[in-house]
Amino acid sequence: MKLSRTVTYALQAALQLAKTESAQPVPCSQLAEQGQMPERFLLQILRNLVNHGVLQSTRGVEGGYRLRRRPEEISLLEVIEAVDGPMATDMPEDATLPIESVSKLQHALQEVTAITRNQLAAIKLSQLVTPQES
């Protein structure tokens, strides 16, 4: 499975926020700097995560982002689909395969997608966060 740069940045920012012990929101500039991500691009990604209920944003001088729920409650699937949209198994309409083959292939891809979605839903951010070093 290949992750887009957008998903990679979304996961990186979510994991940074999961690791944060402070209740204060973390500014986008801080997330971008720590994660070596382009700030303008990251801002768009963070907005998607807010719109899909993964993050909460706070405006103002003391504003920034934080997880909307505990890291134990946020799955990889949520983060990935918030940025890339739902995983789909649609075949291109211009496929020149026989209809029986298209149907069998579509069914196989649906099974693979369902298994992948279940596995990604089972992995929570808390499982991926490394403990803070003293």
104 inside domain: yes
Token pair 């499975």: residue: 1
Note down pLDDT in tens along the chain; length 134 residues. 788 999 999 999 999 999 987 789 999 999 999 999 999 999 999 999 999 999 999 998 889 999 999 999 999 999 999 999 998 777 666 667 787 887 888 889 899 999 999 999 999 999 999 765 43
40-67: b or e for each residue (b if 16 or more CB lie within 10 Å)? eebeebbebbeeeebbebeeeeeebbbb
133 inside domain: no
9 inside domain: yes
**Domain count for the chain:** 1
Q: Provide the whole-model pTM.
A: 0.85
Q: According to the 3-state scheme, what is the secondary structure of 81-118?
A: HHHHCCCCCCCCCCCCCCHHHHHHHHHHHHHHHHHHHH
